[in-house]
Amino acid sequence: MNTERNKERNKERNIPFEIIRNLNKRNDWISEEELTIFYNNIKKIYDNLLEGKQFEYKRLIKFINYLDTKYTRQKLLRYAAFHLACSSTPIAKEIKFFDLEGEDSIVNFVNKLVS
């Protein structure tokens, strides 16, 4: 039963990924390999949460909340990595960038968290 529910949730999470994958192909923000690694790491965090392992998820939420206080939500919604990290479906025409830079990079945070 849980396996079926997990499969359905993974299918729902693929929608934002496919939108962002298509945007990335047009904008050439990062390589397909980097995008896939980042997405798979996000999936690991959410899959672990479904299995009752909350450590990475709690750290991710804390980081997202930090970004939310540093930047406006409107600005964050312009970043593809933010949508993947939050598992939210982006509006393609509003996405202008892939990731924040430096210490605020969502990709770097997630990849370090999962590795």
pLDDT value, residue 13:
55
Instruction: Kindly state the DSSP code that residue 54 receives in the 8-state scheme.
Output: -
Residue 63 has pLDDT above 70, yes or no: yes
In this predicted model, what pLDDT tens digit does every residue of 1-34 receive, in sequence order? 456 665 555 555 567 888 899 999 999 999 999 9
In this predicted model, what pLDDT tens digit does every residue of 27-58 receive, in sequence order? 999 999 999 999 999 999 999 998 999 999 99
pLDDT value, residue 104:
98
Q: How many helices (H) and strands (E) does the chain have?
A: 6, 0
pTM, entire model: 0.83
**What mean pLDDT is reported for the chain?**
89
In this predicted model, what pLDDT tens digit does every residue of 83-99 receive, in sequence order? 999 988 888 899 999 99
pLDDT value, residue 30:
93
Which one, of 84, 112, 114, lies nearest residue 98 by Cα? 84
Rounded Cα gap, residues 35 and 53, in angstroms: 24
